[in-house]
Structure 1
């Protein structure tokens, strides 16, 4: 018992520390179903006990719909937890991830308004930029070809006449 008390005295600040979690949503397209996997990830927290709850339109998501939830250690002595949910591409629900932890004064809520739209809007934006780039590149090529032909034509049709030399002796 004395050894444990001594250890606690030496390492008390480390053992009794509280580190707040970083909580965020991650979306990943699921090519098999055409939907998405929405994951709530809480990472970097200490001590290890954490409550992580997923809500759909302010109602808790049923446990049988959720995968994950295991507590995993990080290499720096903190912990992480992830809970995931498969949703369809047409899903227009509001999802919230709620975390409660000893380091937090209140619960921490992170909201995802319309899953999938971020991915779709990014894809659309990238497509629009690519099409505009292709149009600009095509226009530049056409302008270059036209000016090149005009220069070539003006060189070939210009009237070069040799100067006549006359010598009076």
Structure 2
């Protein structure tokens, strides 16, 4: 019993302190369905009780649409919880993740407004990178082809110059023989 009391005395502040959750709302493409997964993630909080709610256009999403929601421990003694929702690519609703926890004075809301306009810069960046790498590959191949052809012509022209040189020597020898 004394060991437990000593441990409680050492760790008392850690046990009695509340740690605020970090709340994020994540949107990730789902390649299987062609849609998206919206996930509400609260992590790093203590004590373990938290109320995490996902809203669609300010209305709570029904529990049968949500996956996850299990409370999981972190290695540092805090906890995490994730609630996810599958949505279609055409979905234009506004999603909000709301967390209430002992460490928070008020509820914490994080909002995600899905708009195609927000994806346009990402798509343009990807297309620009593909275009740059494609152009670079074409130039590289072209230069490789040009350098191998020029090496071939250089060897060919040096052979021709050797033939020309030996031809000139033969002509000079013939001239020398005629004069002698």
TM-score, normalised by the number of residues in structure 2: 0.72
Q: Aligned with 1:129: secondary structure?
A: helix
Q: After superposition, where does 1:1-169 map in structure 2 within 5 Å?
A: 9-114=9-114, 122=122, 125-126=125-126, 128-150=128-150, 152-153=152-153, 155-157=155-157, 160=161, 161-162=164-165, 163=169, 164=172, 166=176
Contact 1:47 1:78 in 2 (8 A): yes
Residues 37, 49 of structure 1: CA spacing in aligned structure 2 closer, same or farther, 3 A cutoff?
Answer: same
Q: Aligned with 2:114: secondary structure?
A: coil
What is the distance in 2 between the residues matched to 1:77 and 1:3? 20
State the Cα deviation string for residues 21-62 of structure 1 (Å, max 9, x = none).
121223343344322221111111001111111111222222
Structure 1 unaligned regions, length at least 5: none
CA RMSD in angstroms, aligned pairs only: 3.4
Q: Aligned with 1:144: secondary structure?
A: helix
What is the distance in 2 between the residues matched to 1:156 and 1:72? 74
What is the distance in 2 between the residues matched to 1:115 and 1:70? 29
Q: 1:115, CA displacement in angstroms?
A: 7.1
What is the distance in 2 between the residues matched to 1:72 and 1:81? 6
State the Cα deviation string for residues 61-115 of structure 1 (Å, max 9, x = none).
2233222222222222111111111111111112111112222233222222217
* 137-146 or 109-118, larger mean C-alpha shift: 109-118
Larger Rg: 2
What is the distance in 2 between the residues matched to 1:108 and 1:139? 53
Return the structure number with greater helix share: 2
Contact 1:56 1:96 in 2 (8 A): yes
What is the distance in 1 between the residues matched to 2:24 and 2:115? 13
Residues matched between the structures, number: 168
TM-score, normalised by the number of residues in structure 1: 0.76
